[in-house]
Amino acid sequence: MTNTTKKALLLTTILTTSTLSQLAHAQDNVQNHANTVMERVMVIGSADSASDLTGSGQFIDKETLDKNNYTDINRVLRQVPGVNIQEEEGYGNRPNIGLRGGRSERSADITLMEDGILIAPAPYASPSAYYFPRVSRMEAVEVRKGSSTIKFGPRTTSGAVNLISSSVPETREIEGLVGYGTDNTKRVQGHYGDSAAFGSGNIGFVIDASHDQTDGFKSIDIVGGDTGYSIQDLMGKVKISTDEAADVYQSLEVKFGATEEDSDETYLGLTQDDFDNDPFRRYASTQNDNMDASHRSYHIRHFADFGNFDATTTLYHNQFARNWYKLDDVTIGGVTRSLGAALNDPTYLAALRGEANLDGSAANNLTIRANNRNYYATGIQSDLATRFATGDVDNSLEFGARYHYDKEDRFQNEDLYAINNGVMALTREGAPGSNANRHASAKATALYLLNEMSYQNWTIVPGVRYEYIDLKREDFNNGQVIESSVDALVPGIGLGYAFTDTFSMFGGIHKGFAPPGPGNVNNDIEESINYELGGRYNGQGLNFELVGFFNDYSNLLGECTLSSGCSGGATGDQFNAGEVDAYGAEFSVGYDAAPLFNMSQFSLPLHFNYTYTKAEFQNSFVSGFDEWGNVTAGDELPYIPEHQFFVSAGIVAPLWELNVSGKYVDEMRTQAGTGSIARGQGTDSHFIVDLAGEYEVIENTRLFFTADNIFDTEYVASRRPAGARPGKPMTALAGIKFEF
């Protein structure tokens, strides 16, 4: 047992003993139990709660989600300051989300949750989010930054995103949506829930089901074919609870989720010249690229309120299977080039376009890799909470523990293809597991303790988190087994002061932590000290928040993945970057302007946010990680825009509403560097405007329409994994929705 482990266990023992001693003296507190249960699975709880945090946080409620009818989480999160997003395929099915200058690739550097449960395929062993929950069935989305994120590990540097799925209603709810749009887009969604008396308590359920599909907005050279996706999603919950007045109120919730995806997506983009001529073409060599994925999730959650404290315990299991069958490299004359290198060689580029023929032999072929992987994540977590007073200080104490196991199972092979006049044909099928046959796994024990102390106008929230992780990688092709362990004590403190009922200031400092992946025994953990200071106002229809942040990394980790276009190491290899400074400011303001015009029957919601971010390496080094390369101290990190802003305006009447929103994203460099961004080494700055409207034709039934990118702006959204990739062009969807 390490010294850190001993210190953590000693601290936990002392604080838990203190907690239990206080429980005997705590006062009974009449609560709405349903709200209390939700508080335990949420990272914020409500828009009102967000304004009371001793850190920065945003809560996007169901009303806001419904008015735009988005299925793309990227478009939902663009209204949150401090979020940096790298688009990929235009639909947000595999989002790349970063917070406050952190790496965005596959959202692997943030803590992702659904209903308070880790939802990345393998959150410790392989956190890249090739699966992401369907935002169309969520009733809220929460983003938490700052010191209190230590509650939501394992990754505590940048922040946490928590998606809240439909809760079991107290009375009957029936909702539905049917829409049709551009590119043969079809969307069907249904929601049904109800509750009834059951013995001396209650029983209730909710079911959400959806089907989304589109042919896609790109065209494959020569052969044609779809470039879109088809996704089916199902979620159900059953909840049994005692009577609200029971001496010990209890509830038991069982949840099941299933998602099936079939998407015709590729990792290959375009050369800059080809992009300039037609950004929505796809080369003929991508005609067989396809993602076939299946996700299942289960949880059982028990809640008990003992009057002076409550306990929430959740047993969960997630599994995800995916086979992304996609072009991996090109071989001509016995010389193999990666996709990125092939784009820069005219001979290889001709083969990618289908303009040159290859016979499919070992010396002349297109290689498609079956990236066949299975992921498993299982765990149990328990949270205890109590409120008590010590003199004039009110305390809200939380203690949590989680045991978690996850694993990634790779069983990949490569097939060789000929291409003749743009048409591909299989010439050699690889043996299953011959490319990669390995397991990467993690066992993790996590503890946290937070105490929110309120005294007069002051709020102080000290907290600590402890992680102990066993990592293992087994390569069955060469018999190599690599095991390692890591532990970390992660403290933090938040502070708030309310000058008035409407204006307050807050600040915090906490340690950022992210573990290395299995097999990376020569890498350090990712560590940082993170600071923030801000103020907020909320009153008279106006709310605003201004926050400054500074993340001081002593070591930043990068990881070689196919999605990052890495060619300088084996997939899964990690790289130390040493010291990095990420700093900036976030500003947001919202106002309902209707009272200014005496429009009592209307609402005129206005919103604006702005984010400034700078992230710079503090060391000079040479890296095998393509995005970094040869780094000089002072170089900026890739895929982090310096300036972003979001603006929206709406008019809401009793029978109709209209909302317009726009997002500006500055250009981003795609490889570390300084100064002006050279042609072909960055993304394009862009301002994208969306429009949405509804009209109630009869009671509870509305016609709706949405139009994304209404000015049909063309821009380079990304250059990874390989080549220039476009943002989504103008698309529209119209239909009918109802709710009872």
Kindly report the CATH number assigned to the domain that includes residue 634: 2.40.170.20
Q: Tell me, yes or no, whether 356 and 268 share the same domain.
A: yes
Write the CB contacts of 485 (distance below 8 Å, at least 6 apart in sequence).
Answer: 468, 469, 470, 471
In a shared domain, residues 128 and 101: yes
Q: What contacts 704, CB < 8 A, 6 or more positions away?
A: 69, 177, 179, 692, 693, 694, 695, 734, 735, 736, 737
201/242 Cα distance (integer angstroms):
4
Domains identified in the chain, total number:
2
Rounded alpha-carbon distances, angstroms, from residue 12 to 22, 468, 510: 15, 14, 18
Mean pLDDT of the chain: 91
Question: For the whole model, what pTM was predicted?
Answer: 0.92
Question: Is there a domain that residue 135 lies in?
Answer: yes
Residue 31 has pLDDT above 50, yes or no: no
| Domain membership flag for residue 200 | yes
Strand extents, DSSP E, 362-457 = 365-390, 393-420, 423-428, 436-455
**Nearest residue to 82 (alpha-carbon basis) of 510, 549, 590, 589:** 549
Q: Let me know: does 721 contact 267? Beta carbons within 8 Å.
A: yes
Same domain, 155 and 194: no
Examine the domain organization and report whether 600 and 523 are in the same domain.
Answer: yes
pLDDT of 9 strictly over 50: no
Mean pLDDT of 283-294: 98
pLDDT (tens digit per residue) in 215-224: 999 999 999 9
Q: What is the pLDDT of residue 7?
A: 43
Q: Is residue 423 part of a domain?
A: yes
Rounded distance between C-alpha atoms, residue 310 and residue 295, angstroms: 32
The yes-or-no verdict on residue 441 having pLDDT over 60 is yes
What's the rounded Cα separation, in Å, for the pair 58 and 65? 13
Cβ neighbours, 10 Å, residue 647:
17
Contacts of 296 (CB under 8 A, 6+ apart): 256, 257, 258, 318, 319, 320
Q: Provide the pLDDT for residue 20.
A: 38
Structure confidence by residue, pLDDT tens digits, 378-423: 999 999 999 999 999 999 999 999 999 999 999 999 999 999 999 9
Beta bridge partners of 336: 331
Question: In this predicted structure, what is the pLDDT of residue 559?
Answer: 75
Q: Which amino acid is residue 543, in one-letter code?
A: N
Mapped onto helix, strand or coil, the DSSP state of residue 47 is helix
Q: Which two tokens stand for residue 407?
A: 């694993």
H/E element holding 310? strand 309-332
| Closest C-alpha to 399, from 454, 459, 453, 465 | 465
Model confidence at 372: pLDDT above 50: yes
Does one domain contain both 246 and 194? yes
CA gap 386, 382 in Å, rounded:
14
The Cβ of residue 34 has, within 10 Å, a number of other Cβ atoms equal to 17
The residue whose two tokens read 């009918």 is 736
Domain end point (choices 141, 163, 185): 163
State residue 46's pLDDT score.
Answer: 66
Q: Is 244 a member of any domain?
A: yes
- Tens-place pLDDT, residues 650-697: 999 999 999 999 999 999 999 999 999 999 999 999 999 999 999 999
The Cα 119–Cα 113 span in angstroms is 5
Distance CA 631, CA 617 (A): 8
Of 139, 163, 187, which residue constitutes the final position of a domain? 163
The verdict on residue 109 lying in a domain is yes
Does one domain contain both 450 and 596?
Answer: yes
Q: 520 burial class (0-12, 13-18, 19+ CB within 10 angstroms)? A: buried
Give the per-residue pLDDT at 116: 95
The residue with greater pLDDT, 43 or 490, is: 490
> Please, which pLDDT band fits residue 574 given cuts at 50, 70 and 90?
confident
Contact 101, 584 (CB under 8 A): yes
Is the model's pLDDT at 17 over the cut of 60?
A: no
Q: Read off the pLDDT of each residue in 360-388 and give the average, rounded to a whole number.
A: 97
Residues 163 and 136 sit within 8 Å (Cβ to Cβ): no
At residue 666, the 3 state secondary structure works out as coil
Which pLDDT score is estimated for 524?
85
Q: Could you tell me the CATH number of the domain that includes residue 115?
A: 2.170.130.10
Quick one: pLDDT at residue 558?
78
- Residue 321 belongs to a domain: yes
Preceding amide of 81 cis, omega within 30: no
Phi and psi for 623 in degrees, rounded to 5?
-120, 145
Residue 325 lies in a domain: yes
Tell whether 539 and 676 lie within a shared domain: yes
> pLDDT per residue over 93-124, tens digit each?
999 999 999 999 889 999 999 999 999 999 99
In a domain, 239, yes or no: yes
The predicted structure's pLDDT at residue 261: 98
DSSP H or E stretch at residue 548: strand 542-555
* Residue ranges with strand state E in 149-184: 160-165, 173-181
- The domain in which residue 83 lies consists of 45-163
Count the alpha carbons within 13 Å of 468 in the hemisphere toward its beta carbon: 13
Residues 104 and 202 in one domain: no
Contact 161, 143 (CB under 8 A): yes
Q: pLDDT band at 335, cuts 50/70/90?
A: very high
Three-state secondary structure call for residue 306: coil
The predicted model gives 585-592 an average pLDDT of 97
Please report, rounded to a whole number, the percentage of residues in the chain having pLDDT higher than 70: 92
Interior CA angle at 668 toward 662 and 669, to 5°?
Answer: 170
**Cα–Cα distance between 732 and 386 in angstroms, integer?**
49
Beta strands 526-539; 503-514: pairing state: antiparallel
| Domain end residue (candidates: 163, 189, 221) | 163
Find out whether 175 and 188 touch, Cβ atoms under 8 Å: no
How far is Cα 731 from Cα 709, in angstroms, rounded to an integer?
A: 7
229 in the same domain as 314? yes
Residue 310 has a pLDDT of 94
Closest CA to 734 of 273, 180, 232, 304: 180
Of the pLDDT bands very low, low, confident and very high (cuts 50, 70, 90), residue 233 is very high
Q: Residue 328 above 70 pLDDT? A: yes
- DSSP collapsed to 3 states, 232-282: EEEEEEEEEECCCCCCCEEEEEEEEEEEEEEECCCCECECHHHHHHCCCEE
**Whole-number percent of the chain with pLDDT over 90:** 82
With a CB cutoff of 8 Å and minimum separation 6, the contacts of 569 are 560, 575, 624, 625
Q: How far apart are CA 383 and CA 404, in angstroms?
A: 15
564, two tokens: 């990052």
The backbone region for 643, taken as left when phi is positive above 0, alpha when psi lies in -120 to 50, beta otherwise, is: beta
pLDDT confidence of residue 567: 58
Note whether 183 and 154 are same-domain residues.
Answer: no
Lowest mean pLDDT among 210-219, 553-562, 699-708: 553-562
C-alpha angle with apex 410: 407 to 416, nearest 5 degrees? 165
**126 and 183 share a domain?**
no
Least confident interval from 113-127, 136-150, 473-487: 136-150
Helices (H), 285-400: 339-342, 346-353
Nearest C-alpha neighbor of 720 from the set 268, 107, 326, 220? 268
pLDDT band at 32; cut points 50, 70, 90 = low
Question: When comparing pLDDT for 526 and 20, which is higher?
Answer: 526
283 and 425 in a common domain: yes
